Structure 1
């Protein structure tokens, strides 16, 4: 799933390639993709593209007086093409969900792999009309998000820190992969109760969050849209690396599985050398 660093890189890429261009046509190709009906997609046609904004994991592309907003979800992606095929695509064939074509050639496709169709597109007059944007918490890389702001979010929070970091209503843009990376850098167990952080631990978590996300944004900056997935994977130190040695201490990275996801961590760096209980595996062994 694209998270804050990849979506920020896509924003910069689209800002460079879309600004000032006129939208010729927008073709929805998957029934599930469009979440709004007024204004219609056709209202974007003939509009001139303006700045592109990021709201957490959402992209909001200004077109005339409107915004084309998308959330790529778990398996969605944006594929830029300097030259689009002459023949219009056929709906319902393959992963293609939406195509935006620009006057003079080029544009992009929104695609989604797999059978669970969660990629979402909205046409709105204000990005805050999108429910997922309206409920977002603060952006962890915003200039006005400080260490004390994180402390206030942690105070009184009953959940484990892993779940809190992933909650878009608490912090915007952090997902499964970067929450693992942040907690590894901060040397914190993903199961640690959020409200139990002392002052020093809050500081370490804030610095780890800031450094992890900033480093990932800088790595992704300037890359073409098609290169971002590989860059994200290559830069991860623990997420998706179950069974590999920890790059910090050499211990074996372990995994905890859930119904539809998993987390990775280093026992030596994060849990005092103790493996965390894998609830799904425990149930199977009963």
Structure 2
């Protein structure tokens, strides 16, 4: 799933390539992805693109005061096309959810696609006058890239959740998902199962510093990247997430995994849990 660094880079890409262009035709290939009907998607046509922004893990395109907001979810992505096909796509065919055509000041006619891989279609699109009209955006907590250390400490002190769950709870802290929470906790040498409110003041301060460092590094690596290369850039910078069974780059121990119904996270027992493997309910059931 695209998280804060990747969505920030996509917003930057759109600011560079789409600002000043006029929206042409909007093709909806997956009706289920569109979550609003008033204003309709067709209301975007003819409007000038005046900017793009990130709201947590949501991507927004400002079309002269009317916003196209998308949440790419687990399998979604944005793809820029310099020369899109002239004929509209057939609804329900392939991974395409939405295509937005543009007319640029340079007399070019590019487009961008919102696509989603996999069978579980969760990519969502809204057309709204104000981003806060999107319920998930209205519920967002402070952005992880802007939250102050005292605010961060207060958020953790008020949560009884495990630190892994607290860091991906968008109502507490916006922008961090499964991958970067794994990376942050590994760098901070904290167990994903540690209780947020029980962290010491020193642990909280260290975690805040690590969070800002990991995110800043990822944003800097992602900035200016072509949209097509962002996924590879993200993977290249990960040390534990998605690396189950591989050696930890810090200590050499094997990277372990805890799995749930629809997701999993990775960690290093030596670096984070004093050498003790965390309970994996999936494996426990298999062993019974």
Give the alignment's TM-score, normalised by structure 1: 0.98
1:2 aligned onto 2:35: no
Which residue number corresponds to residue 18 of structure 1?
18
- The CA deviation string for residues 72-104 of structure 1, in whole angstroms up to 9 with x for no partner, is 000000000111112221111100100000123
Which residue number corresponds to residue 52 of structure 1?
52
- The CA deviation string for residues 114-156 of structure 1, in whole angstroms up to 9 with x for no partner, is 11111010000000000010000000111xx211111100113
1-structure distance, mates of 2:197, 2:151: 14
1:59 Cα deviation (Å)?
Answer: 1.0
Which residue number corresponds to residue 272 of structure 2?
270
Return structure 1 stretches of 4+ with deviation > 3 angstroms. Answer: none
Which residue number corresponds to residue 213 of structure 1?
215
Unaligned segments of structure 2, at least 5 residues? none
1-structure distance, mates of 2:286, 2:145: 41
**Which runs of structure 2 are paired with 1:191-202 in the superposition (5 Å)?**
191-202=193-204
1:115 aligned onto 2:119: yes
Which residue number corresponds to residue 285 of structure 1?
287
SS of equivalent residue, structure 2 residue 271: helix
**Which runs of structure 2 are paired with 1:28-67 in the superposition (5 Å)?**
28-67=28-67
1:254 Cα deviation (Å)?
Answer: 0.6
- The CA deviation string for residues 45-71 of structure 1, in whole angstroms up to 9 with x for no partner, is 000001101100011111122111111
SS of equivalent residue, structure 2 residue 50: strand
8 Å CA contact 1:100–1:109 kept in 2: the answer is yes
SS of equivalent residue, structure 1 residue 25: strand
2-structure distance, mates of 1:248, 1:65: 48
Which residue number corresponds to residue 130 of structure 2?
126
8 Å CA contact 1:44–1:64 kept in 2: the answer is no
Q: Which of 90, 110, 115 is equivalent to 1:106?
A: 110
Unaligned segments of structure 1, at least 5 residues? none
Which residue number corresponds to residue 166 of structure 1?
168
2-structure distance, mates of 1:31, 1:115: 15
Q: Which of 101, 118, 143 is equivalent to 1:139?
A: 143
1:163 Cα deviation (Å)?
Answer: 0.5
**Which runs of structure 2 are paired with 1:191-270 in the superposition (5 Å)?**
191-270=193-272
Cα RMSD after superposing both structures: 0.8
- The CA deviation string for residues 161-219 of structure 1, in whole angstroms up to 9 with x for no partner, is 00010100011010000000000010000000001111110011001110111111111
Residues matched between the structures, number:
284
1:157 Cα deviation (Å)?
Answer: 1.2
1-structure distance, mates of 2:100, 2:159: 42
Which residue number corresponds to residue 179 of structure 1?
181
1:92 aligned onto 2:96: no
Which residue number corresponds to residue 71 of structure 2?
71
